[in-house]
Amino acid sequence: MSDVLHAFTAFFDHLQAIAWTPVLFALLCQLAKIGFRTRAWRNILAAAFPESRVRWRSVTGAYVAAVGVNAVVPVRGGDLLKLYILKRRIEGATYVTLASSLLVETIVDFVLSTLLLLWALQQHVLPGTHVLNSLPSVDWFWLFRHPRIAAAVAGATLVVGFALGLWAAARIAAFRERVGRAFAILHTPGRYLRSVAALQVVDWVLRIAAIYFFLRAFHVAANLDNALRVQVTQSLSTIVPLTPAGIGTDQALIVYVLSGQASRTALLSFSVGMKAILSALNVTLGVIAIAVMLRTLRWRRALEDDGPAREPSA
Residue 297 has pLDDT above 70, yes or no: no
Q: Which residues pair with 259 in a beta bridge?
A: 262
254, 270 contact by CB (below 8 A): yes
Predicted local confidence at residue 211, as pLDDT: 96
Reduced 3-state DSSP string for 231-276: HHHHHHHCCCCCCHHHCCHHHHHHHHHCECCECHHHHHHHHHHHHH
Q: Looking at per-residue confidence, does 166 or 261 come out higher?
A: 261
Q: What is the C-alpha separation between 53 and 49, in angstroms, rounded?
A: 8
Residue 217 has pLDDT above 60, yes or no: yes
Q: What is the chain's alpha carbon radius of gyration, rounded to the nearest angstrom?
A: 21
Label residue 157 by pLDDT band (50, 70, 90). confident
Q: Looking at per-residue confidence, does 236 or 215 come out higher?
A: 215
Q: Looking at per-residue confidence, does 159 or 20 come out higher?
A: 20
Residue 104 has pLDDT above 90, yes or no: yes
Indicate the range of 38-47, 173-182, 236-245, 247-256 predicted with least confidence. Answer: 236-245
Predicted local confidence at residue 314, as pLDDT: 38
- Mean pLDDT score, 64-90: 86
210, 33 contact by CB (below 8 A): yes
Predicted local confidence at residue 248, as pLDDT: 58
Most confident of 137-141, 206-210, 268-272, 283-287: 206-210
Indicate the range of 87-101, 128-142, 271-285 predicted with least confidence. Answer: 128-142
Q: What is the C-alpha separation between 88 and 112, in angstroms, rounded?
A: 32
Strand ranges for the chain from DSSP E? none
SS3 306: coil
- pLDDT > 70 in the chain, percent: 71
Predicted local confidence at residue 3, as pLDDT: 53
pTM given for the model: 0.77
96, 55 contact by CB (below 8 A): no
Predicted local confidence at residue 312, as pLDDT: 45
Q: What is the mean pLDDT of the chain?
A: 80
Q: Which residues pair with 262 in a beta bridge?
A: 259
238-279, pLDDT tens digit by residue? 665 555 555 556 667 787 888 888 888 888 888 888 988 999
